[in-house]
Amino acid sequence: MVRLPSTRRAMVLLVVASLNALGGLDQLLPPAWSAPDDPAKLEVRIEPAGGVRAVATLRLQAPPGIVQTVLTDYAKWPELFGVRMRLAHLERRDDRVLTDLYIKHALLPGERRLLCESRELPDGGLVTTLVAGDFKRYHRTWKLSPDGSGAVTRAEFELLVEVDTWAPDWLMAMELRRNLETHFRILRERVAERSP
């Protein structure tokens, strides 16, 4: 058994205690990115095979068509996220759209390239998959359906992502949760701007 120096042990214990405390906050406080009448849920977990999976359910105050329009406005994708992102290339094909994005993460030096292909789902929503770049895996799905009268959208989100990096998955999971909370808040604002 390897014994760590006491300073290092103390630092490890502090990090573990902090992470446990942060995890407990999710049950005590409603998410800041959620509307008061929205039972929004976000779960972020590390995948055993590597990478991070995020699953969320949102209730957006607009019909699915408006939400679909915001999600498929590819030229404005960088505006939907709280990280620095630039769109280098956008190519529309018959039933899909290729986007070449460069993303600046707070935890990682430089930019990470994400070349992905997006297809609209026939019943409402969007599937985005990795084509190339600095990611090992990237698969994002939005499923949209009317909730109640049709003036509200139930949005189901799932993302499986693994960045080609030295950073541990637990750290990437913390950063992903923070980024998604910002993304959902911005998405909610953009949808509200387009609602009648």
Residues in the chain where the model's pLDDT stays below 70: 1-39
Question: 121-153 as b/e, with b when 16 or more CB fall inside 10 Å?
Answer: eeebbbbbebeebbbebbbbbbbbeebeeeebb
Please provide the average confidence, as pLDDT, over all residues in the chain: 84
104, amino acid identity: K
Instruction: Give the pair of three-digit tokens for residue 91.
Output: 């190519």
Q: What is the pLDDT of residue 109?
A: 82
Q: What is the pLDDT of residue 92?
A: 96
Q: What is the pLDDT of residue 82?
A: 85
User: Which residue bears the tokens 């930019």?
Assistant: 111
Q: What is the pLDDT of residue 17?
A: 41
The domain locations on the chain are 35-194
| CATH no., domain 35-194 | 3.30.530.20
Among the listed residues 143, 139, 140, 177, the one whose alpha carbon sits nearest the alpha carbon of residue 42: 177
**Residues near 7 by Cβ (< 8 Å), separated by ≥ 6?**
none
The verdict on pTM exceeding 0.95 is no
Q: What is the pLDDT of residue 77?
A: 93
Give DSSP secondary structure letters for the chain.
-PPPPHHHHHHHHHHHHHHHHHHHHHHHS--TTS-TT---EEEEEE-TTSSEEEEEEEEESS-HHHHHHHHT-GGGGGGGSSSEEEEEEEEE-SS-EEEEEEEE-SSSSSEEEEEEEEEE-TTSEEEEEEEEESEEEEEEEEEEEE-SSSSSEEEEEEEEEEESSSS-HHHHHHHHHHHHHHHHHHHHHHHHHH--
Torsion of CA 178, 184, 186, 187, to 10 degrees: 160
